[in-house]
């Protein structure tokens, strides 16, 4: 290999639910790839985000938040996504919240050790510290109790320290051909991204329990006369949930649809006509057909 050989690093982003993994992925890539919300378990499917750093390509695998006791088949599959993200990478980014180390982080640390991959402990949400003086004692404590080769504080929300993280990862990227084209930002198709953007609005606008009971399927995705026509079905498990998603006089579903449409138009850079339906299918979280989407495209 010469000095001019291409470099491409592959990294898994793992951590507990809600620590800011997807927000970090979006900031690393420089655009919205993975949906985010203040509710835990927003990310369901492994998704790759791709960044170009000079001539180096950086590929990040976002994953669902790790769950200690997954109950449904859906939740077990979510944990499996983390496991398979861990085994295909050059290094692992373990994200924790600046609030501190949680016992479940210990389980994640063990999973990382079993892969024998290098790792970086990323301390996110440093904007929540009242003063920066709080950071050094936290890092000192983490260093005394763990053996991560690197500890890296960031704010995924406002981007603090993210350029430094990108520099570090690019400097360590191994020499290998790029896996993706220079203008690719994700491995997932547009249909998947559209369904995810709708799911994000559901997560953001509905009560705490409901987002986990919903699943979005894109039934039609066609361009006619310069407008993208999309039909989407939001599947829920119970009739009561359907009423909540629709809302009084259809207000809630209208809001979900219009905010999703704005994001979809931004992503596709085209006008979008989005129609949504809400339908009931009991126990879809146990239904193999509904869970097929977990198969990551190769």
Ligand X SMILES: Nc1nc2c(ncn2[C@@H]2O[C@H](COP(=O)(O)OP(=O)(O)OP(=O)(O)O)[C@@H](O)[C@H]2O)c(=O)[nH]1
| Residues 32 to 51 in contact with Mg ion, rule: CB under 5 A | 42-43
Q: Which of residues 2, 3, 38, 269 is near ligand X by CB under 6 A?
A: 38
In the complex, least distance from residue 85 CB atom to Mg ion, rounded to whole angstroms: 12
205 binds ligand X, rule: CB under 6 A: no
Least separation in angstroms between residue 205's CB and ligand X is 14
Residue 19 interacts with ligand X (CB under 6 A)? yes
127, 143, 219, 286: which one binds ligand X (CB under 6 A): 127
Strands 91-97 and 47-53: unpaired
Termini Cα distance of the chain: 27
65 binds ligand X (CB under 6 A): yes
Q: Which of 22, 26, 124, 241 binds Mg ion (CB under 5 A)?
A: 22
Candidate ranges 3-11, 14-22, 173-181, 278-286; the one touching ligand X (CB under 6 A): 14-22
Only one of the segments 84-92, 121-129, 178-186, 246-254 lies at the binding site for ligand X (rule: CB under 6 A); that segment is 121-129
Q: 195 vs 272, which CB is nearer to Mg ion?
A: 195
104 vs 265 by CB, closer to ligand X: 104
User: In the complex, which residue's CB is closest to Mg ion?
Assistant: 43
């Amino acid at each position: 290999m010469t000095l001019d050989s291409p470099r491409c690093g592959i990294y898994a982003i793992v951590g507990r639910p809600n620590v800011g993994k997807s927000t970090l992925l979006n900031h690393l890539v420089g655009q919205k790839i993975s949906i985010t919300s203040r509710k835990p378990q927003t990310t369901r499917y492994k998704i790759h985000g791709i960044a170009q750093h000079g001539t180096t390509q950086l590929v990040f695998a976002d994953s669902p938040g790790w769950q200690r006791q997954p109950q449904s088949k859906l939740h077990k599959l979510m944990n499996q996504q983390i496991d398979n993200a861990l085994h295909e990478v050059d290094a692992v980014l373990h994200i924790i919240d600046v609030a501190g180390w949680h016992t479940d982080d210990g389980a994640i640390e063990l999973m990382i050790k079993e892969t024998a991959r290098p790792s970086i402990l990323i301390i996110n949400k440093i904007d929540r510290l009242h003063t920066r003086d709080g950071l050094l004692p936290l890092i000192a404590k983490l260093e005394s109790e763990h053996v991560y080769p690197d500890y890296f504080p960031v704010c995924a929300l406002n981007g603090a320290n993210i350029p430094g993280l990108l520099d570090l990862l690019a400097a360590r990227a191994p020499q290998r051909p790029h896996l993706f084209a220079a203008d690719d930002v994700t491995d997932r198709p547009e249909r998947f991204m559209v369904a995810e953007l709708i799911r994000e609005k559901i997560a953001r606008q509905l009560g705490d329990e409901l987002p986990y009971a919903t699943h979005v399927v894109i039934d039609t995705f066609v361009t006619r006369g310069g407008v993208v026509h999309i039909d989407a079905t939001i599947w829920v498990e119970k009739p009561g949930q359907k009423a909540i998603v629709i809302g009084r006089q259809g207000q809630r579903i209208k809001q979900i649809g219009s905010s999703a449409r704005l994001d979809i138009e931004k992503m596709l850079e085209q006008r979008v006509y989005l129609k949504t339906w809400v339908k009931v299918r009991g126990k879809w979280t146990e239904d193999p057909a509904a869970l097929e989407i977990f198969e990551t495209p190769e």
